[in-house]
């Protein structure tokens, strides 16, 4: 078993992790990035990215590969591994980590947690099949692809209502599908949604299947079922937005740093500092508002600068 020691260990390899690595490497901190279960993060399941500055259009996996190459070029060591446990050594300022399968141990003086978050999905095979081809969990990211088209939004909370309203800027019709007979969203948001002529609400329905074509690969509709009568019907839609929430990948940090009730890591306002000295959080593990790659990259930069300042002191 190899012990890999570094000044800064970065957990996660999305936009936040790679940006942190680039800045840390340029500061001669010799960072190690442990990629985690999904190297490249959520952008690896995204097709066209048209809102990342500097790229008019780029495939999500290609963008993440460019970030990885950039991080490696400036001196980052990248290990395709997964951290399973973390502890602070007694009478020491250093942290020790164990990886998946205990193939490696890691030791560092500072940690940048950039493990990201995952959208909550319905769990349908057809949903997974068309992710990136009409099935999305981010209206802000993908709404422009559905200009003058019909889209469905699944959910009943603030996120679903906000995404449905946002989509009306582009789509000609938005169908909100909710399994209950009332929304969980804030009253003011409900009022806005129900007054919007572009939005139709399908109460007491669940999505059973996403329908689509193979060549070219695209969504053509959904099958929904009534929770009251079990009657199924097909709806013709060009896109499906799943808006039933996100879950940060922070399970192994529970009890290690302060988190909110939803499991997001709490950071000091205007910084990436967590409740534990030498531990910093960037990207979707601490951002439940914006959830954009460019924001994650910015906080990754902040985390590296905060870590550099900590190590200097």
Q: Catalytic residues, which ones?
A: 138, 141-142
Q: Which whole-number Å values give the CA distances from 99 to 41, 59, 92, 165, 294, in the listed order?
A: 18, 30, 21, 43, 29
Give the span between the Cα atoms of 31 and 304, in whole angstroms: 10
From the list 119, 132, 123, the residue with the least C-alpha distance to 212 is: 132
Give the span between the Cα atoms of 89 and 109, in whole angstroms: 10
Query: Other CB atoms closer than 10 Å to residue 182's CB: what's the count?
Result: 10
Q: Which residues pair with 202 in a beta bridge?
A: 177
The answer to whether the CB of 99 falls within 8 A of the CB of 81 is: yes
Which residues 6+ apart lie within 8 Å of 233 measured at CB? 223, 224, 225
The residue assigned the tokens 């985690």 is: 36
- Rg for the chain (alpha carbons), in Å? 21
């Amino acid at each position: 078993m190899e012990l890999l020691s570094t000044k800064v260990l970065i957990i996660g390899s999305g936009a936040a992790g790679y940006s942190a690595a680039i800045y840390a490497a340029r500061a001669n901190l010799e960072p190690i990035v442990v990629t985690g279960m999904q190297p490249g993060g959520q952008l690896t399941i995204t097709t066209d990215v048209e809102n990342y500055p500097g790229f008019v259009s780029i495939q999500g996996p290609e963008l993440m590969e460019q970030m990885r190459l950039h991080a490696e070029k400036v001196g980052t060591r990248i290990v395709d591994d997964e951290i399973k446990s973390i502890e602070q050594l007694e009478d020491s300022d250093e942290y020790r980590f164990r990886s998946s399968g205990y193939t490696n141990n890691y030791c560092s003086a500072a940690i940048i947690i950039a493990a990201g978050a995952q959208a909550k999905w319905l769990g349908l095979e057809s949903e997974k099949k068309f992710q990136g081809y009409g099935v999305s969990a981010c209206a802000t990211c993908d709404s422009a692809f559905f200009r003058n088209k019909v889209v469905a939004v699944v959910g009943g909370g603030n996120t679903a209502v906000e995404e449905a309203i946002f989509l009306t800027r582009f789509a000609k019709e938005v169908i909100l599908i909710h399994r209950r007979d009332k929304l969980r969203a804030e009253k003011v948001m409900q009022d806005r949604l129900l007054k919007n002529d572009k939005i139709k609400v399908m109460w007491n329905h669940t999505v059973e299947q996403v329908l689509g074509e193979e060549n070219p690969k695209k969504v053509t509709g959904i099958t929904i079922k009534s929770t009251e009568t079990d009657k199924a019907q097909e709806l013709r839609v060009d896109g499906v937005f799943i808006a039933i929430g996100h879950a940060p990948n922070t399970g192994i940090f529970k009890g290690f740093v302060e988190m909110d009730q939803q499991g997001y890591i709490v950071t000091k306002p205007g910084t990436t500092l967590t409740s534990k000295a030498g531990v910093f959080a960037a990207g979707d593990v601490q951002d439940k508002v914006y959830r954009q790659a460019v924001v994650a990259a910015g906080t990754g930069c902040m985390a590296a600068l905060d870590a550099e300042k900590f190590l200097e002191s």
